[in-house]
Structure 1
Amino acid sequence: MTISKYHSTVLMPRIEKPYPFILDFLSKRFPSIDRETWEARILAGKVLTEQGDPIGLTTPYTPLTRLHYFREVAREPSIPFTEKILFCNADLLVACKPHFLPVIPGGPYVNECLLNRLKKKTGNETLSPINRIDRETAGLVLFSTNPKTRGRYQELFMNHRVEKTYRAVTRYSGEPGEKDWTVENRIIQGDPWFRMQVSPGQPNAVSKISMVKTRGEKALFKISLVTGKKHQLRLHLSGLGFPILNDRVYPKLLEEKKLDFTDPLQLLAEKISFKDPLSDRKMSFSSDRHLSWQD
């Protein structure tokens, strides 16, 4: 059994009365964890209030307050690759993560995630990711190191004031007739829940895509993200007919297989640039990781 060294947090949302028991709320909020497991955690004092006090089975549901809990998994995979810290000051940390490492805890990953590795490495338990990339994607992730200034950096992403550049290696079957595309569409949650899909309606995902070069059955792409929806690039490239190498989710969901570190998704969050909201200085960071493209 692996238990997280750091607590996770869930907000009890504002809902109409009658309020549910907290046990019912947690069971519905996290359907992959059965009710009996949540009951055992509560009875063992493993679910806490914001003040750090253990709750009981009869603790009342209180809207807009938070509960803390410690994630547990029976067996956690070990990710044998190391992240790099590229920059760190009193307000911001910039890290470059390897393929296969999730940014935050999720599924079978508790301590093997970028957030908890960085907390351990820096000793800063208030670290919080400002942006996220897929577990399968390598590259740059920004973290707030100071809760007091966190909102200033989050606003950069909310207001699209960050330049994000990706590289991808895709399958290639012949001359496309075009080299540059701007893809705009609406991305929503698909089925199963971890898969996204394109839907009619107001666009919420925009990518500027350029084919850099081709070689045999491969193509190298440079992509600028205007927005940052989950799996956006994977969907957009696949939709153009260029599925990313080693993508088991798009365009077709492949059968689950044992974790194989020899076939990483060929997608890299390569560069990120922005004007620092505190210093007003231009900041730019680049990854030195590489994809399976050799000149």
Structure 2
Amino acid sequence: RGRHVAQTALVRLRRELGLPELSPAHRLDRLTAGVLLFTTRRELRGAYQTMFARGTVRKTYLARAAVNPNVVLPRIVRSRIVKRRGHLQAVSEPGEPNAETLIEPSPARYPPGDGLYRLTPRTGRTHQLRVHMAALGLAIVGDPLYPQVIDVAADDFTAPLRLLAHCLEFDDPVHGYRRRFVSRRAV
């Protein structure tokens, strides 16, 4: 599904920009909005994709979710997340953790009961942020999968997932200097 967004964005941008070599350097879940890094030259693609594979990119997300006074933040959530073929949801299972997320409250205010959270994943498992938030009782607003599956048409955007890939920071593997890309979108 993460590939679906990249491919959809990829096809659209290749067509609109006339860049046949355009390729995504990483993936986002289909319902996640925000910063997505593309490369324009085939010979440089691997260097950028390797940064993501090695976990050297600092990724920051913003999410809207209910406020739960019983949840102490900031906190690091670690778990073993498994996504099985044919199942919509990823699940946390007992065992050695393979997913880690720093979850922090953000001072922004929303309607009563809603809060803004800054999520910094240190790993990149499928649905990791959504699984970790739901496990804390902080299901992300508009999430059709967590904590339970809700039947929503694929083309229904009336209640979007309030999860935004807000910022990417990394040392450019080609030019050597620090790069920072920030989304201007609101959650």
Structures share fold, TM-score greater than 0.5 = yes
Q: What residue in structure 2 maps to residue 238 of structure 1?
A: 134
Q: Provide the C-alpha distance between the structure 2 equivalents of 1:224 and 1:258, rounded to a whole number of angstroms.
A: 27
Q: CA deviation at 1:281?
A: 0.5
Q: What residue in structure 2 maps to residue 147 of structure 1?
A: 42
The residue identity in structure 1 corresponding to 2:88 is F
Q: What residue in structure 1 maps to residue 58 of structure 2?
A: 163
One of 77, 94, 98 as aligned partner of 1:200 = 94
Written as runs of structure 1 = structure 2, the 5 A alignment for 1:245-260 is: 245-257=141-153, 259-260=155-156
TM-score, scaled to structure 1: 0.58
Matched, 1:129 2:32: no
Unaligned runs of 5+ in 2: none
Larger Rg: 1
Written as runs of structure 1 = structure 2, the 5 A alignment for 1:41-60 is: none
Written as runs of structure 1 = structure 2, the 5 A alignment for 1:1-295 is: 102-104=5-7, 113-172=8-67, 174-190=68-84, 192-213=86-107, 216-257=112-153, 259-291=155-187
Q: Provide the C-alpha distance between the structure 2 equivalents of 1:137 and 1:288, rounded to a whole number of angstroms.
A: 14
- Structure 1 residues 194 and 129, CA, compared in 2 at 3 Å: closer, same or farther? farther
Q: How many residues align?
A: 182
- Structure 1 residues 123 and 207, CA, compared in 2 at 3 Å: closer, same or farther? same
Q: Provide the C-alpha distance between the structure 2 equivalents of 1:116 and 1:125, rounded to a whole number of angstroms.
A: 9
Q: Provide the C-alpha distance between the structure 2 equivalents of 1:115 and 1:258, rounded to a whole number of angstroms.
A: 19
The 3-state SS of whatever aligns with 1:103 is helix
Q: Provide the C-alpha distance between the structure 2 equivalents of 1:165 and 1:235, rounded to a whole number of angstroms.
A: 16
Q: Provide the C-alpha distance between the structure 1 equivalents of 2:76 and 2:132, rounded to a whole number of angstroms.
A: 10
- What percent identity do the matched residue pairs reach? 35
Unaligned runs of 5+ in 1: 1-100, 105-112
Q: CA deviation at 1:258?
A: 6.6
Once the two structures are superposed, residues 200-259 of structure 1 have per-residue CA deviations (whole angstroms, 9 ceiling, x without a partner) of: 222221111001246521111001111111111000000011000011100101123473
Once the two structures are superposed, residues 247-292 of structure 1 have per-residue CA deviations (whole angstroms, 9 ceiling, x without a partner) of: 110010112347332211110000000000111100001000002x
Q: What residue in structure 2 maps to residue 66 of structure 1?
A: none
Once the two structures are superposed, residues 1-22 of structure 1 have per-residue CA deviations (whole angstroms, 9 ceiling, x without a partner) of: xxxxxxxxxxxxxxxxxxxxxx
